[in-house]
Structure 1
């Protein structure tokens, strides 16, 4: 990751210094890695022979640049960028040459280059990248930028490709370049914000979303993102300690499935530690089989156990894009990604609530409210997506219905609760929820019918569910002035548990009303 991972156009800062000849150089540069020095070009992962060749091409390109032969320099710099998309230095030189070339063309023609997003160039790059043809993707990108240095479509497509390959420095550099060209562009800001958030740069991601809001003040996605990222930034700056939320903390930890599966009873003595793979080994396994999801899941479990939920999310998202396998295996990874995302927001909410209790300031109260809103929104979206994937699963329907009810969307919750009745193990509980939803929207007959169905279904079930059903039915009947029905259900409740809520007082009230008649 670069020392200055991403700078918004307003700041004007750079992660490198401008050399006297106009090329952008790293300030700590030493002889090239192929010559035995430091890996200043960031190409140490390439074969030695390739490193030697690219360094020679780069030096030749720099000499052509100094002579003013920008066309030939472009061809050479583009070769370096295409073959080594991991090198920020190659990319900086490539852009510096294009900038000088554009200035020369502007002086000679009197016209500036056209700016904008080229959908054709972007789609061609994306198509090549989707096939794993990375060399071709970057060659196409370099050619698009030769035609127009301000092609934001090509820049964002190249940023996406770098993100896929894990070259974060270069991904953010391409996005910075695109924002230099079009600082108010909606799509560019959204893409930049997503990349910045994924890499933990919350303040600058907020800046991108705020630029979206300047043009679209009512954009709900942007508003929620600013709120969510404000929480993330505060937690991050506060030095969040994952140990506070470990197995003995407020939320607990999920046992990684593959680790748990290695510790079946009888497999080994209880005091023998479960074997766990380390991060380098798992990364090597992913590199060896980038389309196999197993190592990704193991590494995500490791990150999870260490409290590195951002890292786990990024890894699982990359797994989904690269993995092969059955639809069921894809669902396993997607569910794990969603669960990790929600756990991260839940932990942020717990931390915000602790801060609120400790500080007792308006700012900490607002932070806790924003954290709660961010969690509830994400929780609802995740469970809606799960229902969409498995519409016939009553358990998924029930989980979604609970969340719809919690955020006040009771009409939508009713539909989901009705679908959840197919799960015979929780019919009584579902019917009570249905009754509460119907009662809130003033469908009192339907509410009473649901409460009575809950009472019937709970006859041999959970006594607490039965007591709640009796109480709800009795209270609703009182509200409807149906004293006979109210007395019937509340008397049955009192016979089971006379101390339940205020059932005795309600029966006295019914007696008084009967006496007045």
Structure 2
């Protein structure tokens, strides 16, 4: 981003932040939340903006977690899933922005805080990741050792040794037989001692090397060994310590995907699923990698067939890959819909995949659910109409297109043309040539080059 554009964004962020402050003073919670969100969107790395946003979100509930509705958990589950999806695609800022919707519903959402902390960690904004976890620590379950392991990891990234040690001590209280906790506490204590010694040595004119016990030397060497590890080695080390941890697999796979090493990413996630077979985040990331690999293979084979149309073997293989990808997409979207049945976009995506597979009766059902979303209503009805046509139900298609036209915004020329064009096609099928011509004329008046509209009007005349 050019420096002048970055400066403009920062200035806009400050303006939105000021608007938020003014609204907060008047207890205009919704407007303040929106303004702070805009500020955070333009300055992802600004902790002050994020803290102000969370503060006003909590004020809206009177700073009482008990006032959050019981059904919010189900609503936020869908948002968590969307955020994971964005993070799986390396869209960390988008994931963070998505999670703010969850915090608006429940400003003490522990799962959202952990998701957000992981995205900030990937952006190397460790202090914000640390604050995310600390801001919900009072709501963490008494037996949630995984949260405290996560917190310890982030505290360590921030070199907040006492906090990291305290988190591992909490893990040890929850699970007295956790060997890793004991080892980490010793290592972190050594790191803290080394850091303190470095500070003291820096201000001494003639510092002498302090005497160390054999145990202290061993601990220091172990710490130095850890510090020399690459990020990948550290993550592999975490997996060896506890294969049930999900985040190291996802982060390792993310690193592989950034390098376009999709086969390696698949192996990492496959190992994660072997250890955590029902984890939805691992399942989704694994599916995304598999589908990406299939799409890349299809692109390569398509180019080969385009270069040599006589290559029968490549053509056959290309057809097989298209079939495999479509089957995988349908299976994956069915799984996601089962997890988040209230997500209209998932129903829409499943409908598109089913329609591509000529399963139009099932596709229509998905589109009819998807049209419950205002943002997807027109597209869902258009797609439902196309499936009705493909299924030989022209009258139902006509009715669906007409209903969609009634909901159309006046400025939506693209869908206006698409719906009138399909209505023309349907009326041709039904033998209503005059009505077909009227619909084609509506399209031609907007865009005479639209598809084959000119030829169809000539044929009717």
Q: TM-score, normalised by structure 1?
A: 0.44
Select the structure of larger CA radius of gyration.
1
